[in-house]
Structure 1
């Protein structure tokens, strides 16, 4: 018979090695979140060079976070078995190599395939970071600060992406936005074996191939349906995809409930603070990525700014996001998380409302202020929601909780471009007035995307080209206003969730 004695020793405090290890772990966090938004500023150049259709253009953006989100839980389980640091290094190597392939893609289809592979290796990177961090920081106060830094890295990376992309596009081809992975991951490959302590589950559950397939089958068909409706309108194919996704989701939940060691403990979602924080996390990222999707195109293709000048417009927003994310760690000692999150989400809703009302008449100044306000609000909501997700579950469930948190982030990124981007594309297509004199193929190209219309315009007679340019830009502005109104609805929904599910949550 074994007698268990309570552990009374104080938790070991982290030293310089652990804090240096945190800096190393921030590299993949920043990279993966940067990769979600860096493509926003490269998209106009890619559209002009590779000429993807509207659907392919959306898939180039979305396939990476879609695959990443679907594989996060799977890769988290794999890391528990083979070692989290080991999986981190494998993911880093594959991500760097595939980034090179993406940078030199010669067709939209090749770029789409490279982005898919980046999602696979990105999924190998992300679940390891928070799990490794928890093992390195045993002291609760130190761990809270480390998690705040980790969460800030997600928020800051999303905002830094377009700035990095804008700077690179000013001096190099669009492929340069993918090559940034190489200098960011090389230090990780060198320093992680020295500064990051390996950890694994001493008694991991078995791999669940069926559960892995079901997790992907739950998400992919629904996102495809959203994209399909944006391009072709609602039909039986879209309805069938939604039905498939729902059926797979039900099967996944039943399987997870029936297994003694599930890949994901779905019972976590019965905890209001956990489920509410996950949903707020998703909606916040959805709003941020959705704004970046049309803001980057508006600044370059409507306002006419260069990539660098367009990136500089976002600098105040990036600074606001980082400062708000760090400041809220102090403010939460005085006010409840729900109060602060409501204030942040309200600020983001006001920013979207300003864009919706002003439309294209507000000028660049309004966009600077709007993005700064939305970024600050999302930074507050993201930092607190991630902290609450980890705090709402027992320590033994921290790995699963971190995987769910990261999955919510990636699904939000997918839906930001799928829903808000799809709404923008549909409105643009319905509002575009094609000038007389265009044949069927030319008219179809103009209706696909704003970039397609602007690329076609110089090949037409001067008057016809000018009319097409004016009509396309006006249709895009109309779409931006309607999309911004959708963002207001998202933030209002997030506020309702916060007030209902998180009102009793404490820091």
Structure 2
């Protein structure tokens, strides 16, 4: 009987899995599997570094390539568009052609395109490279996670391995700003893309020796129509949400959202009626799968409430250098690492519902602390708040990820991993669209009333575009006028940051309650061997 069958009969899938574990001891991983995990973790670390260092490079990219505000958003966001659109497809493709094969192919492409991106001569070229990096990056997260679930059958070892996987992303977030800050201090903005090249090369050399190949022997053929529908639906939905963040609720955003929903409905219908569905939608019958996925999505949304503004706050409000910003953000990354490594040990004796609930509540406290930071003298408070947020969120991602993928049959681990990562991308897109649109509206609304009356019209348009543009423009204006513009822009940015931090704090508290109520049936020790 599969986990899906048990869900159809009304049993809790996690409890069923624990019963099966108690009846048959799973084989324990050996040295080869742990070496393989180290290689996978290294790839995830670089993947996360690539995300964090780009935000530090935005001011230098703006100064060198002179992108419009729309192009700058595309440089930042197109990577997420492509990743979100292709995660499920790549996870399912890995189930069919081999998870190691698709991982190594994606790593090779990631390295090559990173080199091209580093020397991009125009904003358009950089946007194209970011799109290609998104396609390659979509192979990494679901492939690494599904390989871990196949390599580590023993539940306690698997819990530790998932913690290492989450910790690798956290470590990338921690060292990315540090390495990126050092590079940006002495080299051009493109140097941050080259960080990925040696690590991906190492993965290509060592991976075939330590990573086993896994595929579903009974999987049908990949349905190209379903793949295209999935990609089109996700890209349209994410584009619509991010378009709202940029320009507000307009015709283009509404059209994209409606089109994405319509194409998504066609995708769902094809999965329910086709002979070889790309995604078995019966996974969503599993209560634990659904609730864990929801918590994971909202957790990412909450994280974006922090990450969307913190790097800009350190650089553009407090005036720290890229290296100084990296140092200021490092404690937050360390907090993620510590939290993700402690979670597998705590969950052996504490129910996942309570650990997730406390974690989300702690992150809400940190976000409320962020509502109190000011334009000066708040560096220690901002760093402390970021550590509290990280310590709270870190256990949430590891536990919910294990519940999502662990609820699925092993042969569908790639597809479940893709769903998990797609949910994370959607959470990020929602964070950018909802929180971004609120902050931009507040930023521009405040500036309409606070900018000096004698500010030239062209400079005023630039200042209202982004805080980065405001900092650059203010430096080109005469002394007192430039200082007034900079003060007004920073105050408007802080207003938007305070409001969005408060909104995400409320969201974190709500999801904390949902976790405690809806996951309390999951016993302590899920993801560990029962003694």
TM-score, normalized by length of structure 2? 0.89
Cα distance in structure 2, aligned partners of 1:362 and 1:411? 35
Give the Cα–Cα distance (whole angstroms) in 2 for the partners of residues 505 and 179 of structure 1.
43
Q: Is the 8 A contact 1:13 1:138 kept in 2?
A: yes
* Residues 1:63 and 2:60 aligned together: no
> Structure 1 residues 189, 413: CA separation in 2 closer, same or farther (over 3 Å shift)?
same
Partner residue, 1:162 = 177
- The one of 318, 321, 339 aligned to 2:336: 321
Change (3 A) 1:387 1:23: same
Q: How far apart in 2 are the matches of 1:23 and 1:421?
A: 36
Structure 2 residue 35 is the aligned partner of structure 1 residue 20 = yes
Asked whether the equivalents of residues 99 and 118 of structure 1 are also in contact (C-alpha less than 8 Å), the reply is yes
Contact 2:241 2:429 in 1 (8 A): no
Q: TM-score, normalised by structure 1?
A: 0.93
Q: Is 1:200 matched with 2:215?
A: yes
* Cα offset, 1:246, TM superposition: 1.6
- 8 Å CA contact 2:47–2:196 kept in 1: the answer is no
How far did 1:189 drift?
Answer: 0.8
Give the deviation of 1:135 after TM superposition.
3.0
Report the counterpart of residue 3 of structure 1 in structure 2: none
Deviation at 1:361, TM superposition (A): 6.1
2:61 pairs with 1:46: yes
1:134 pairs, out of 149, 161, 182, with: 149
Q: Is the 8 A contact 2:245 2:435 kept in 1?
A: no
* Aligned-residue offset at 1:340: 0.5
Match of 1:279 in 2: 294
Offset at 1:339?
A: 0.3
What is the distance in 1 between the residues matched to 2:298 and 2:374?
23
Residue 398 (structure 1) aligned with residue 432 (structure 2): no
Deviation at 1:352, TM superposition (A): 0.8
Deviation at 1:140, TM superposition (A): 3.2
Spell out the pairing of 1:198-277 with structure 2 (5 A cutoff): 198-277=213-292
Query: 1:448 is matched with which residue: 450, 462, 465?
Result: 465
Aligned to 2:500: 483
Partner of 1:472: 489
Partner of 1:143: 158
Q: Is the 8 A contact 1:283 1:491 kept in 2?
A: yes
Say whether the 8 Å CA contact 1:137–1:143 is kept in structure 2: yes
Give the C-alpha shift of residue 359 in structure 1.
Answer: 4.6
Moved more, 323-332 or 239-248: 239-248
What SS class does the counterpart of residue 381 from structure 1 fall into? helix
Unaligned runs of 5+ in 1: 1-5
The answer for the alignment partner of 1:89 in structure 2 is 104
CA distance in 2, matches of 1:357, 1:458: 27
**Cα pair 1:91 1:121 within 8 Å, conserved:** yes
Structure 1 residue matching 2:500: 3-state secondary structure: helix
Q: CA deviation at 1:190?
A: 0.6
SS in 1 for 2:371: helix
1:36 touches 1:65 (CA, 8 Å); kept in 2?
no
Aligned mates of 2:429, 2:112 — CA distance in 1: 24
What residue is the counterpart of 2:134 in the other structure?
119
Q: How many residues were matched structurally?
A: 502
1:132-168 Cα offsets, whole Å, 9 max, x none, are 2233233333233222222322343344433332232
- Counterpart of 2:14? none
Q: CA deviation at 1:224?
A: 2.5
Alignment of 1:349-364 (within 5 A): 349-360=364-375, 363-364=378-379
Alignment counterpart, residue 435 of structure 1, candidates 452, 468, 476: 452
Q: 1:372 aligns to what SS in structure 2?
A: helix
Could you tell me which residue of structure 1 aligns to residue 346 of structure 2?
331
Is structure 2 residue 454 aligned with structure 1 residue 413?
no
2: CA distance, partners of 1:10 / 1:383: 23
Residues 16, 187 of structure 1: alpha-carbon distance in 2 compared, 3 angstrom cutoff: same
Tell me which residue corresponds to 2:89. 74
Q: 1:502 aligns with which of 519, 522, 525?
A: 519
TM-superposition CA deviations, 1:64-100 (whole Å, max 9, x none): 1221121011112222333222221111111001111
Distance 2:376 2:486 in 1: 17
CA-to-partner distance for each residue in 1:8-36, whole Å, 9 max, x for gaps?
99644322122111111112222222323
| Whole-angstrom distance in 1 between the partners of 2:24 and 2:521 | 32
1:53 touches 1:448 (CA, 8 Å); kept in 2? Answer: no
Equivalent position of 2:314 in the other structure: 299
After TM superposition, give the deviation of residue 57 of structure 1 in Å. 2.2
User: What RMSD, in angstroms, separates the aligned Cα atoms of the two structures?
Assistant: 2.3
SS in 2 for 1:314: helix
| CA displacement at 1:129 relative to structure 2 | 1.4
Q: Secondary structure at the match of 1:180?
A: helix
Give 1:310 deviation, angstroms. 1.4
